[in-house]
């Protein structure tokens, strides 16, 4: 029973991170119909920016600001940095290919992904970076918390899950309640029609990238608070985020959240009950099954194309 | 054999999600006849073509061609059975030459596979020559416009009217029995429209094709049709000769709105 | 209706000379034009024969085993590029699992010609068998392509790649039996055996040239075979598929089946390459089949021009040579400056602007170097590291600190990337003005950041190349410029 609770907790935490990544994928795919392979590497860059910010603020053993402020600043730094990165990627690697055949921006995305991963490796080496969150405030993030049965629920996990949730709610509000959000939804339905209605497509697309990349940056920080990060984790992380998006229904925000959680649980339980070696493969199996059997995911609508 | 039904739609329906585009349609095309389908935009005409060619599968009813049901078949199989089409918005192979466009359409009734092509067997070489000669013949059917040096020119270098002709030529190269022409005269000036009208008649008379045409230009419809069917909102509202359909009050109403029939 | 003068002069729309007017105008004037025209008329097999001849003569000119091994590796890359060209260039499919077929061929050969299962079939059997296995698996992997749109297909192929990696890496304990040897791979693989005789992998420690010739032979066979397919009914169908898949389907071409064929052909060629490499190495390890290899082959194909066989071969050679040169810091430095100068020449031709940029960069650098040196000696005290005259000269121009502070690397690198991107947005003299410090910064980053770390550097360059070619010149070097109607 305890294992079950622990694994559920793992699933929730993992799932929150995946959901944030999935949202970025979903936003961009909904508007551009582009699989942004570089998204996972933006996530990875976010974790590195967070690390850098952490060091600038004194490191985890001797921060110059209280812990809660530290976490906020680090996350904001990652979100801001990733937003800029996302805008740059869109502007230089995808926008010129907007009217090219579908395969072209995909290849470009591959190139960007590769470039990012190895640029980080070039600048910072291939060793892992550990936020060492345990040292923060004498381990307060881990020691404070509550218990469910025999399982400890540390404060850190609570923070991660809650902040992810808050971010998702903010995003949902943005997309449904604001004008820009409406513009985004219109563009994802029919780009040409939206343009003819006076919507500035370029701005909408940039906005989508800003949001998606910022969320990925936040996810990067949340991930790295609990596990070491390295230059090479980007691609597979992005793929998992994409899987989550497909499960939930690509283009759907509540879908991305649900998909992220489902994937998080699936991975946690596989790692716990079967083995870690096959969990990556499992992710793929889930992805392929959904793509073949139910491509619109759980919450998406079946795509009707009129010829 | 003229008089027999080559294509038959029996109670065909097509719905996308909850939206019904075609509802219980009965339609037939006799061998060697030219049938025109008219109707306002959104009436379901192109959807009809997509259904017949297998791009969509009907959600209800059956489609029978030459006595056999073609419902649910893959599009290339249907083409190989003898139905070929052109497109409302041209869909040529623009970066290929004029001749190659037409040669490509011969795939369905030729058989030299990749391995025989590598070995360049006598059979494969003969078939290639035949495909090439057949393509040039098909193009020659269209008179001077698509002959000679034009054969080697890329399709994108052709004028609009010639592109439309090429698309029809390509469709004929499939050795189809029936051609589906989707707005063949769209965007043409009166002289070109006249040529297209003559061409369609020639396709039936000399080419032996049965032809199903979607057209908006009533002059063309009047000039070529043996029969006319009018659709509106996915339902057949009139059928008969051009005069009968053109004066049918329901047709007038569909085009010009309620009250127009009385005023007319 | 005919006017009396109608027969004289060009008849617009009907006259061949008029139709060819566009081509005539595009032709370059003078000698260059004539040469280009003549070259374009040289038949393809003449180029192939010439190329093959040169490669055959290579071992005679260069006795070193190193050069021969590089040549062999390049031929393998050429084969891989040809195969990927079929899938991506002719079929228009994004195959992210291509390297797995390379691995399938390698492992199949190892299974059939080693002590692993004690099967020792002659190469005349194993190589075709491996190709067939590769092709069949290619068919199976391609099956989902019937139902999936392009981007989703990419994921399926990636999935296959993941399966391959997982199985080969964890294969030492697959349901209790040791199938693939896991991370330790399979060793003691037989060398090639042709006509009953075994070809030793090396003689007196020197790479056996016979392997180069076998690989070259395989390359020629594959090149010619693929070309024959391209110029046939199947090739026509593939071209139509690329142009407009829906129209192709409706003109009687079975699009799904054609895509499967492209997949299978590409996979078979990759498998062939796999067998040759395994025979030469005498072993196969799962670490050889990783994602960076996939990106490398993709870059070769895109750079050379997807869809053009000659193009992807050129791309393969260029990238292969580039990667090899980048291994040695001394050579890499030389390459950097040479390519930089060539690039500037190509961009500006012989003009005032070229002089301005070159001179400006030189002066800028010398000033910067002097300033840095005067502020702190240690800032310019770093050695070029790896000798060579160029290194000595460069050190006087580029700032090479003795100790590099940690923050310098990321700041300078990111600065360089940002400046380069900004440069693409500028025009006119502002662009020239910004170009000067950017060039100097590039040299700085090259010396201090990239040269010391050849491994990530090569992949950074590949990734950047891939994006740059896709954005600036999607047809690559020799690909056909296509007209797309949006």
B51-67 tens-digit pLDDT? 999 999 999 999 999 99
Is residue A214 a part of any domain in this protein? Answer: yes
Identify the H or E element spanning C237.
helix C233-243
- Answer yes or no: is pLDDT of A97 > 80: yes
Residues C291 and C157 in one domain: yes
A251-260 tens-digit pLDDT? 778 888 899 9
Instruction: Indicate the number of domains in chain C.
Output: 3
Phi, psi of C177 (to 5 degrees): -110, 155
Residues C320 and C341 in one domain: no
Contact B114 C265 (CB under 8 A): yes
- A151 DSSP β-pair partners: A148
Residues C111 and C216 in one domain: yes
- Name the residue among B80, B117, B170 with its Cβ closest to that of C233: B117
pLDDT above 90 coverage of chain B, percent: 62
Is residue C474 a part of any domain in this protein? Answer: no
The distance of Cα A184 from the centroid of its chain, to the nearest Å, equals 19
Q: Report residue B182 as tokens.
A: 């989707």
Is residue A187 a part of any domain in this protein? Answer: yes
Residues C280 and C354 in one domain: no
User: How far B77 CA sits from the closest chain A CA (Å)?
Assistant: 19
Contact C237 B104 (CB under 8 A): yes
User: How far B7 CA sits from the closest chain A CA (Å)?
Assistant: 22
Radius of gyration of chain A measured on its C-alpha atoms = 19
pLDDT at C281: 87
Is residue A251 a part of any domain in this protein? Answer: no
Residues C86 and C119 in one domain: yes
Q: What is the DSSP letter of B6?
A: E
Identify the H or E element spanning B181.
strand B178-182
C7: domain range? Answer: 1-41
Residues C354 and C289 in one domain: no
pLDDT at C486: 45
Residues C315 and C346 in one domain: no
Contact C249 B84 (CB under 8 A): no
pLDDT at A138: 67
Q: Report residue C375 as tokens.
A: 């502020």
Of C308, C325, C342, the position where a domain reaches its end is: C325
pLDDT at C1: 45
| C-alpha to C-alpha distance for C467 and C465, rounded to whole angstroms | 5
Q: Report residue B176 as tokens.
A: 């189809």
pLDDT tens for the 486 residues of chain C, in order: 444 444 555 555 556 666 666 666 666 666 777 777 777 778 888 888 888 888 888 777 777 778 888 899 999 999 999 999 999 999 888 899 999 999 999 999 998 888 778 778 888 888 999 999 999 999 998 887 666 666 777 888 888 898 898 888 877 666 666 777 778 788 877 787 777 677 777 766 677 888 888 899 999 999 999 999 999 999 999 999 988 889 999 999 999 899 889 999 999 999 999 999 998 888 889 888 999 999 999 999 999 999 899 999 999 999 999 999 888 877 888 888 888 888 888 888 788 888 888 888 888 888 888 888 888 777 777 765 555 677 777 777 888 887 778 888 899 999 999 999 999 999 888 888 899 889 989 988 988 888 888 889 999 999 999 999 999 988 888 887 777 654
User: How far A101 CA sits from the closest chain B CA (Å)?
Assistant: 14
pLDDT at C49: 87
Is residue C207 a part of any domain in this protein? Answer: yes
Mutation for testing the B interface, residue in C250, C265, C481, C486 having most B CBs under 10 Å: C250
| C-alpha to C-alpha distance for C457 and A121, rounded to whole angstroms | 9
Is residue A46 a part of any domain in this protein? Answer: yes
Tell me which chain A residue has its CA closest to the CA of residue B54: A307
pLDDT at B201: 93
Q: Which tops the pLDDT comparison, A157 or A96? A: A96
Residues C106 and C248 in one domain: yes
Mutation for testing the A interface, residue in B16, B59, B75 having most A CBs under 10 Å: B16
Is residue A178 a part of any domain in this protein? Answer: yes
DSSP E strands in B184-226: the ranges are 210-214
Q: Which residues of A touch B17 (CB under 8 A)?
A: 301-302, 304
CA distances to B108, B257, C309, C327 from C228, rounded to whole Å, are: 20, 60, 12, 38
Place of tokens 């991930």: A223
Report angle CA B97, B100, B106 to the nearest 5 degrees: 160
Is residue C164 a part of any domain in this protein? Answer: yes
Tally of CA atoms within 13 A in the half-sphere of A34 that contains its CB = 30
| Per-residue pLDDT band at A306 (split at 50, 70, 90) | very low
Q: Is C19 an 8 Å CB contact of chain B?
A: yes
| C-alpha to C-alpha distance for C450 and C459, rounded to whole angstroms | 11
pLDDT at C303: 95
Domains in chain B (CATH in brackets) are 5-82+176-263 (3.40.50.300), 97-163 (no CATH)
Tell me which chain A residue has its CA closest to the CA of residue C484: A100
Q: What is the dihedral of CA B95, B98, B99, B102, to 10 degrees?
A: 90
Kindly list the partner chains of chain C, i.e. chains with 3 or more CB atom pairs below 8 Å: A, B
Is residue C218 a part of any domain in this protein? Answer: yes
| C-alpha to C-alpha distance for C220 and C234, rounded to whole angstroms | 20
- Answer yes or no: is pLDDT of B259 > 70: no
Q: Is B103 an 8 Å CB contact of chain C?
A: yes
Residues C284 and C381 in one domain: no
Q: What is the CATH number of the domain that holds C253?
A: 1.10.3470
Q: Which residues of A touch B47 (CB under 8 A)?
A: 306
Instruction: Indicate the number of domains in chain A.
Output: 1
CA distances to C361, C434, C444, C456, C462 from C440, rounded to whole Å, are: 6, 10, 6, 21, 22
Q: Is C222 an 8 Å CB contact of chain B?
A: no
Listed residue (C335, C215, C352) closest to C274, CA to CA: C215
For the four alpha carbons of C2, C6, C12 and C14, in that order, the dihedral sign comes to: positive
Is residue A201 a part of any domain in this protein? Answer: yes
- Answer yes or no: is pLDDT of B92 > 80: yes
Q: Report residue B258 as tokens.
A: 């309620």
Is residue C62 a part of any domain in this protein? Answer: yes
Burial of A242 (0-12, 13-18, 19+ CB in 10 A): buried
Residues C48 and C36 in one domain: no
| C-alpha to C-alpha distance for B102 and C28, rounded to whole angstroms | 32
DSSP E strands in B2-45: the ranges are 5-16, 19-30, 34-38
Number of H helices, E strands in chain C: 20, 6
- Centre a 10 Å sphere on the Cβ of residue C63 and count the other Cβ atoms it contains: 11
Q: C384: which residues sit within 8 A by CB, 6+ positions away?
A: C333, C390, C391, C392, C394, C395, C400, C447
A37-94 tens-digit pLDDT? 999 999 999 999 999 998 888 877 777 878 888 889 999 999 999 999 999 999 999 9
Is residue C481 a part of any domain in this protein? Answer: no
* ipTM of the prediction: 0.91
Is residue A269 a part of any domain in this protein? Answer: no
Q: State the average pLDDT over residues A217-237.
A: 90
| C-alpha to C-alpha distance for A111 and A96, rounded to whole angstroms | 15
Residues C223 and C335 in one domain: no
pTM of this structure: 0.89
pLDDT at A176: 87
CA distances to A9, A154, A210, B149 from A160, rounded to whole Å, are: 11, 10, 21, 70
Q: Report residue C356 as tokens.
A: 């301005």
- Long-range interactions of A255-259: CB distance < 8 A, separation 24+: A255/A26, A255/A297, A255/A298, A255/A299, A255/A300, A256/A19, A256/A22, A256/A23, A256/A25, A256/A26, A257/A19, A257/A22, A257/A23, A257/A168, A258/A298, A258/A299, A259/A18, A259/A19, A259/A22, A259/A297, A259/A298
Radius of gyration of chain C measured on its C-alpha atoms = 26
Is residue A164 a part of any domain in this protein? Answer: yes
Residues C257 and C120 in one domain: yes
């Amino acid at each position: 029973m305890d294992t079950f609770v622990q694994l559920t907790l793992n699933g929730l935490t993992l799932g929150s991170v995946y959901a944030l990544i999935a949202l970025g994928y979903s936003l961009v795919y909904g508007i551009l119909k582009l699989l942004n392979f570089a998204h996972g590497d933006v996530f990875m860059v976010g974790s590195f920016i967070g690390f850098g910010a952490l060091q600038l603020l004194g490191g985890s053993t001797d921060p110059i600001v209280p812990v809660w402020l530290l976490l906020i600043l680090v996350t904001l730094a990652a979100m801001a940095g990733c937003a800029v990165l996302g805008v740059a990627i869109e502007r230089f690697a995808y926008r010129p290919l907007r009217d090219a055949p579908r395969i072209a921006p995909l290849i470009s995305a591959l190139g960007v992904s590769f470039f990012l991963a190895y640029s980080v490796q070039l600048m910072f080496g291939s060793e892992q970076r550990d936020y060492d969150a345990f040292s923060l405030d004498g381990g307060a993030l881990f020691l404070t918390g509550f218990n469910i049965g025999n399982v400890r629920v540390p404060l850190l996990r609570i923070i991660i899950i809650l902040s992810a949730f808050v971010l998702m709610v903010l995003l949902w509000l943005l997309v449904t309640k604001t004008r820009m959000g409406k513009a985004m939804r219109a563009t994802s339905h029919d780009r040409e029609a939206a343009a003819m209605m006076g919507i500035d497509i370029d701005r909408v697309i940039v906005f989508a990238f800003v949001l998606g990349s910022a969320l990925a940056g936040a996810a990067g920080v949340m991930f790295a608070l609990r596990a070491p990060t390295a230059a090479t984790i980007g691609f597979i992380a992005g793929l998992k985020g994409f899987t989550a998006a497909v499960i939930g229904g690509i283009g759907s925000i509540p879908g991305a959240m649900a998909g992220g959680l489902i994937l998080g649980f699936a991975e946690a339980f596989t790692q716990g009950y079967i083995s870690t070696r096959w969990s990556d493969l499992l992710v793929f199996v889930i992805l392929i099954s959904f793509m073949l059997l139910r491509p619109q995911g759980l919450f998406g609508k079946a795509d009707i194309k009129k010829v | 054999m003229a008089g027999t039904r080559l294509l038959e739609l029996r109670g065909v329906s097509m719905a996308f999600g909850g939206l019904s585009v075609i509802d219980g349609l009965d339609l037939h095309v006799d061998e060697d006849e030219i049938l025109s389908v008219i109707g306002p935009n959104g009436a379901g005409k192109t959807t009809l073509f997509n259904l017949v060619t297998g791009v969509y599968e009907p959600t209800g009813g059956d489609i029978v061609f030459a006595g056999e049901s073609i419902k649910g078949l893959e599009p290339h199989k249907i083409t190989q059975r003898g139905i070929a089409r052109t497109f409302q918005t041209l869909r040529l192979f623009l970066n290929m030459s004029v001749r190659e466009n037409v040669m490509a359409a011969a795939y369905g009734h030729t058989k030299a596979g990749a391995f025989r092509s590598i070995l360049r067997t006598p059979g494969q070489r003969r078939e290639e020559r035949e495909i090439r000669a057949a393509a040039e013949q098909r193009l020659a059917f269209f008179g001077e416009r698509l002959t000679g040096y034009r054969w080697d020119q890329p399709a994108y270098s052709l004028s609009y009217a010639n592109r439309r002709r090429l698309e029809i030529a390509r469709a004929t190269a499939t050795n189809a029995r029936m051609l589906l022409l989707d707005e063949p005269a769209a965007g043409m000036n009166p002289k070109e429209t006249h040529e297209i009208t003559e061409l369609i008649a020639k396709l039936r008379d000399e080419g032996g094709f049965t032809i199903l045409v979607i057209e908006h230009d009533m002059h063309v419809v009047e000039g070529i049709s043996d029969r006319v069917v009018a659709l509106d909102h996915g339902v057949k509202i009139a059928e008969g000769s051009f005069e009968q359909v053109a004066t049918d009050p329901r047709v007038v109403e569909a085009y010009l709105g309620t009250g127009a029939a009385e005023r007319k | 209706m005919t006017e009396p003068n109608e027969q004289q002069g060009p008849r617009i729309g009907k006259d061949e000379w008029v139709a060819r007017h566009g081509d005539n105008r595009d032709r370059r004037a003078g000698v260059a034009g004539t040469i280009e025209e003549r070259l374009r008329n040289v038949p393809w097999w003449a180029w192939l024969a010439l190329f093959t001849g040169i490669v055959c003569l290579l071992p005679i000119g260069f006795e070193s085993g190193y050069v021969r091994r590089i040549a062999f590796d390049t031929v393998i890359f050429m084969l891989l590029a040809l195969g990927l060209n079929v899938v991506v260039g002719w079929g228009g499919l994004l195959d992210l699992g291509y390297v797995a077929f390379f691995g399938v061929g390698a492992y199949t050969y190892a299974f059939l010609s080693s002590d692993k299962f004690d099967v020792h079939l002659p190469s005349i059997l194993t190589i075709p068998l491996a190709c067939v296995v590769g092709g069949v698996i290619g068919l199976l992997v391609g099956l989902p392509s019937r139902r999936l749109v392009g981007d989703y297909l990419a994921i399926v192929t990636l999935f296959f790649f993941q399966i391959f990696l997982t199985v080969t890496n964890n294969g030492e304990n697959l349901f209790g039996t040791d199938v693939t040897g896991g991370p330790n791979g399979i060793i003691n693989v037989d060398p090639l055996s042709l006509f009953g005789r075994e070809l030793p992998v090396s003689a007196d420690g020197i790479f056996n040239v016979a392997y180069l010739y076998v690989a070259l032979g395989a390359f020629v066979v594959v090149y010619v075979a693929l070309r024959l397919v391209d110029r046939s009914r199947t090739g026509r169908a593939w071209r139509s598929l690329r142009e407009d898949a829906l129209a192709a389907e409706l003109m009687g071409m079975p699009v799904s089946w054609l895509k499967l064929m492209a997949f299978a052909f590409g996979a078979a060629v990759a498998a062939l390459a796999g067998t040759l490499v395994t025979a030469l190495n005498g072993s196969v390890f799962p670490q050889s089949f990783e994602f960076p290899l996939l990106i490398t082959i993709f870059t070769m194909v895109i750079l050379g021009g997807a869809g053009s066989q000659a193009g992807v071969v050129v791309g393969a050679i260029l990238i292969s040579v580039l990667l090899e040169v980048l291994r040695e810091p001394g050579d890499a430095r030389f390459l950097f400056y040479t390519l930089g100068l060539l690039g500037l020449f190509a961009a500006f031709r012989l003009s005032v602007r070229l002089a301005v940029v070159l001179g400006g960069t030189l002066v800028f650098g010398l000033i910067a170097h002097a300033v840095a040196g005067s502020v702190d000696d240690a800032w310019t005290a770093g050695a070029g590291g790896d000798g060579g005259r160029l290194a000595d000269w460069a050190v006087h121009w580029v700032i090479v600190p003795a100790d590099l502070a940690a923050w310098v690397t990321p700041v300078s690198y990111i600065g360089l990337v940002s400046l380069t991107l900004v440069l693409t947005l500028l025009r006119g003299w502002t662009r020239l003005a910004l170009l000067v410090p950017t060039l100097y910064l590039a040299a700085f980053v090259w010396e201090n950041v990239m040269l010391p770390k050849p491994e990530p550097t090569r992949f950074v360059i590949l990734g950047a190349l891939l994006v740059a070619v896709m954005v600036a010149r999607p047809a690559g070097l020799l690909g056909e410029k296509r007209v797309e109607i949006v």
